[in-house]
Amino acid sequence: MMFKGMPVSAEIDKVPRIGVLPRSASTDSKIRWFEAPGFNAMHAINAWEEGDEEIILVAPNAISIENLVHNIEKVHFSLEKVRINLRNSSVTRTTLSQKNLELGSINPSYVGKRNRYAYMGIGEMIPKMSGVVKIDLELVCEVSRRLYGAGCFGGEPLFVAKDGASEEDDGYIVSYVHDEKSGASRFVVMDAKSQTLDVVATVKLPRRVPYGFHGLFVKDGDIREIY
């Protein structure tokens, strides 16, 4: 990557497609392909079924796939909801936010099920995230945000649910944040339900975590079960 650019390429003369594989499928021969012109997604936020005829997919769409491959610092993503009709094979798209949002997460308990909230990184210059926003997928609006401050950038914001949480957004958003002026890095914990995503804890780090790295939150109890 350091010497040859991005490890991906794009054939811009081809039409993007979305593949849908039934949960009960035993082979890949059951997959169905649906053309989605102009839809260039790198990361899916969530997807779920609505009845027996529709699939909903939420994902950031790279407006210019050429920039994603050749000039990533200029790429712009828009958050979209894609509706796939399994009966008539139609694909319709709705823009949820035109802001440059990527590297998002949801409450993991809602993966594969209809959910309401998505937590997205604000792309200052991909993959450098200048803050995080909470998007209401039902009302189609931004409900809260937090910026990290001048010269400070984070990576992927992860949602971590509180133990015993009964509401989808009852938990925390966590991310690594690096201050490019001072060189200091910290692990930031934010209240996902607060209107300004209030910071409730920060941990100073001995070294920085590179921008763009994906993360996963694992409970201590889960680790103990494995080892």
Token duo for residue 226: 């494995």
117 by Cβ neighbours in 10 Å (0-12 / 13-18 / 19+) ranks as: buried
Q: Does residue 131 sit in the same domain as residue 181? A: yes
Number of separate domains in the chain: 2
Q: Does residue 142 sit in the same domain as residue 103? A: yes
Domain limit, last residue, from 78, 98, 118: 98
Domain limit, last residue, from 98, 123, 141: 98
Q: Does residue 68 sit in the same domain as residue 35? A: yes
- Report whether pLDDT(42) > 70: yes
DSSP bridge partners of 55: 49, 84
- For 53-65, what is each residue's pLDDT tens digit? 999 999 999 887 6
What value does the mean pLDDT take over residues 222-226?
A: 78
Backbone angles phi, psi at 223, to 5 degrees: -65, -40
Angstrom distance (rounded) from CA 192 to CA 173? 6
Q: Is the pTM of this model over 0.85?
A: yes
The residue type found at 70 is H
| Nearest CA among 164, 165, 156 for reference residue 187 | 156
Q: Does residue 107 sit in the same domain as residue 87? A: no
- For 109-153, what is each residue's pLDDT tens digit? 999 999 999 999 998 777 889 999 999 999 989 999 999 999 999
Angstrom distance (rounded) from CA 188 to CA 131? 11
pLDDT band (50, 70, 90) for residue 160 = very high
By residue range, what is the domain housing residue 51?
Answer: 1-98
Instruction: State residue 35's pLDDT score.
Output: 94
Q: Does residue 163 sit in the same domain as residue 191? A: yes
Angstrom distance (rounded) from CA 34 to CA 142? 29
Q: Does residue 71 sit in the same domain as residue 175? A: no
Q: Which of 97-106, 113-122, 207-216 has the lowest mean pLDDT?
A: 207-216
Q: Does residue 91 sit in the same domain as residue 117? A: no
Q: Does residue 142 sit in the same domain as residue 210? A: yes
78 by Cβ neighbours in 10 Å (0-12 / 13-18 / 19+) ranks as: middle
Q: Does residue 119 sit in the same domain as residue 26? A: no
Q: Does residue 34 sit in the same domain as residue 8? A: yes
Domain limit, last residue, from 68, 98, 128: 98
pLDDT band (50, 70, 90) for residue 66 = low
Instruction: State residue 1's pLDDT score.
Output: 47
Q: Does residue 77 sit in the same domain as residue 135? A: no
- Report whether pLDDT(71) > 60: yes
| Nearest CA among 178, 172, 173 for reference residue 128 | 178
Q: Does residue 45 sit in the same domain as residue 113? A: no
What's the mean per-residue pLDDT of the chain?
A: 89
pLDDT band (50, 70, 90) for residue 177 = very high
